[in-house]
């Protein structure tokens, strides 16, 4: 499904109005001036007859596609009976620390929490009941997103970790912490979910000075980079150490890797170069002793489908 810039801008405008009605405003960050809503700038440039390259407005395009995607996912579930569970996360946007156009600092807590909000929206859109850990009042002892069964009991948990560091020890430590969180939770099973966008952003996938002839090989390459990031943990620590982490624990032996990467590629129908927000989710096996249930696997597959198709 294609999204025109003006349609995307309308979606974000609706999102901003909806958030204002729930007491959430989205200002610029006072130190970095990071802005979640750069559509006015893009529309102004195009309206003035801008004929430059996407490279010249890369930060604005990057922020625009990210803002539109988040807005679309939130608006999709705005009428959900459980929508209010998202409000504490949404109210963190009041701080303005979103950093969609630049490298987020290590302590950018709002940026870290956006992936939890995003995945919760996907799960709500599937008709799931979601228990979302409070972004400020939480102790860090529990997974961030817990899916409830029809009786209201905790069924499946997602322990999200945003990864910036290139060092495998950092990834190992996050995985270990996530396993402990899942074990302490009331959920029957859980998965470590690594948000690797900051790592992928440094991998040079934006085609400076040109565009890709086909977006699909790029998506496969990004998925390969995600798998390599996890495989490096095994290479550096050994399979025995990984097995010790997971053995007899509720965390499944697969890692969910998620990353967002805007590129410029040829449109498969029009043939024109367009900005494409690639959204990649892939499962990586670390330990074969604990497999996820069929319900869990189906849920992740459906959430990935919603991630690709819910565009407002």
Segment 244-273 mean pLDDT: 92
| CA 34 – CA 38 distance, rounded (Å) | 10
Radius of gyration of the CA atoms of the chain, in A: 19
| CA 20 – CA 78 distance, rounded (Å) | 13
Residues in the chain: 312
CA atoms within 13 Å, Cβ hemisphere of 210: 6
Per-residue pLDDT at 156: 97
Predicted confidence (pLDDT) per residue in 135-163, tens digit? 766 556 678 899 999 999 999 999 999 99
Arithmetic mean of pLDDT over the chain:
83
Residue 291 and residue 250 in contact, taking contact as beta carbons nearer than 8 Å: no
Predicted confidence (pLDDT) per residue in 156-202, tens digit? 999 999 998 889 999 999 999 999 999 999 999 999 999 998 888 88
Choose from 25-34, 57-66, 167-176 the range with maximum mean pLDDT: 167-176
């Amino acid at each position: 499904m294609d999204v025109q810039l003006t349609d995307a801008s309308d979606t974000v405008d609706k999102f901003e109005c909806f958030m204002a009605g729930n007491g959430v405003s989205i200002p610029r960050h006072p130190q970095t001036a990071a802005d979640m809503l750069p559509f006015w700038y893009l529309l102004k440039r195009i309206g003035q007859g801008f004929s430059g390259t996407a490279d010249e407005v890369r930060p604005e395009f990057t922020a625009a596609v990210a803002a539109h995607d988040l807005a679309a996912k939130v608006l999709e579930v705005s009428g959900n009976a459980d929508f209010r569970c998202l409000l504490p996360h949404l109210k963190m946007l009041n701080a303005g620390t979103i950093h969609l156009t630049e490298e987020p600092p290590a302590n950018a807590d709002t940026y870290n929490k956006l992936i939890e909000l995003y995945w919760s929206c996907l799960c709500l859109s599937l008709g799931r009941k979601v228990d979302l850990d409070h972004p400020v009042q939480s102790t860090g002892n529990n997974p961030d997103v817990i899916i409830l069964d029809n009786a209201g009991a905790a069924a499946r948990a997602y322990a999200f970790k945003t990864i910036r560091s290139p060092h495998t020890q950092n990834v190992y430590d996050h995985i270990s912490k996530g396993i402990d969180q899942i074990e302490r939770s009331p959920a029957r099973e859980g998965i470590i979910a690594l948000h690797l966008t900051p790592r992928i952003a440094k991998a040079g996938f934006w085609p400076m000075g040109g565009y890709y002839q086909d977006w699909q090989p790029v998506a496969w390459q990004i998925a390969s980079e995600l798998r390599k990031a996890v495989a490096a943990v095994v290479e550096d620590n050994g399979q025995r150490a990984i097995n010790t982490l997971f053995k007899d624990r509720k965390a499944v032996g697969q890692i969910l890797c998620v990353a967002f990467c805007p590129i410029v590629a040829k449109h498969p129908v029009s043939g024109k170069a367009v900005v494409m927000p690639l959204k990649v989710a892939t499962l990586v096996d670390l330990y074969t002793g604990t497999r996820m249930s069929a319900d869990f696997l189906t849920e992740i597959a459906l959430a990935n489908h919603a991630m690709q198709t819910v565009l407002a």
